[in-house]
Amino acid sequence: MNKIEQLKEIVEKSNNIVFFGGAGVSTESGIPDFRSSNGIFSKSYNRNIMPEEIVSHTYFENYPEDFFDFYVNKMIFKNAKPNAAHIAISRLEKEGKLKAVVTQNIDGLHQMAGSKNVYELHGSIYRNYCEKCGRFYSLDDMLERFYKDKVPKCDCGGTIKPDVVLYEEPLPNDTITGAINFIAHADTLIIGGTSLVVYPAAGFISYFRGKNLVVINMSETAADRNADLVINQKIGEVFEQIK
């Protein structure tokens, strides 16, 4: 049996699947990941400072103009559309087979594909809040103020901060609890499109106690040695075949 057939069989026999994913899930939608050769983490940017440093809390506080320039131009892809992986994952939820998506992505593509129970470990580009008064701003509202003033400002004078988890910032507690709970009770965990090097998110997969651990990733990951099935192919192309 080839690997796609094996994956089909696992999905067929499972009724409590959780999907755990990262930036690689959205590369086929045109959003670069951080670690592939053409990923944004491989290029230095803006006075030779690496993006990892720019998307940190310290950088946001000290150089807000540079932060927003990078964030808006390199991390927001408003025209990106869900690919075959997002669509198949959403379909599995509708069929009752998949119970939750746990994602490190901030692009909202799982929800755009129709997934309902999505744990966004690192937040979302679609939510933005004033640091001072807490007022909510949509992505378009935030962008409008960014294009006007370089650093988006609320009417109260506070800076509008994207609701994304920057390096050095903690993950939201309720999201952690929910994500771990679903992973711990899953019969199948499908890990896809993630290098599994960003912590604490990557550590959550260790709560899995179920039957089938599947990894779908272009490159090797630390989860491969414990996996029942490892597929080193593009995740969209894989999900396209398990319809």
Residues known to be catalytic: 122
Q: Rank residues 111 and 194 by Cβ distance to ligand NAD and give the closer one.
A: 194
Residues 6-25 binding ligand NAD (CB under 6 A) are 22-24
88 is a site residue for ligand NAD (CB under 6 A): no
Q: Which is nearer to ligand NAD, 143 or 154 (CB)?
A: 143
Q: Which of 39, 114, 158, 210 binds ligand NAD (CB under 6 A)?
A: 39
Largest CA distance in the chain: 62
Restricted to residues 145-204, the positions that interact with ligand NAD (CB under 6 A) are 193-195, 197-198
> How far is 77 from 90, CA to CA, in rounded Å?
21
CB nearer ligand NAD, residue 20 or residue 146: 20
Q: Is 51 in the site for ligand NAD (CB under 6 A)?
A: no
Could you tell me which residues are beta bridge partners of residue 191? 20, 215
Q: Is 105 exposed, middle or buried (0-12, 13-18, 19+ CB in 10 A)?
A: buried
Nearer Cβ to ligand NAD (162/236): 236
Compute the distance between CA of residue 53 and CA of residue 203 in angstroms, rounded to an integer: 22
Q: Are 54 and 45 in contact (CB under 8 A)?
A: yes
Task: Report the residue from 4, 8, 9, 35 that binds ligand NAD according to the rule CB under 6 A.
Answer: 35
Partner residues linked to 215 by β-bridges: 191, 230
Residue 214 touching ligand NAD (CB under 6 A): no
CB 128 within 8 A of CB 138: yes
Q: How many CB atoms lie within 10 A of CB 115?
A: 23
Which residues contact ligand NAD by CB under 6 A?
22-24, 26-28, 31, 33-36, 39, 104-107, 122, 193-195, 197-198, 216-219, 234-236
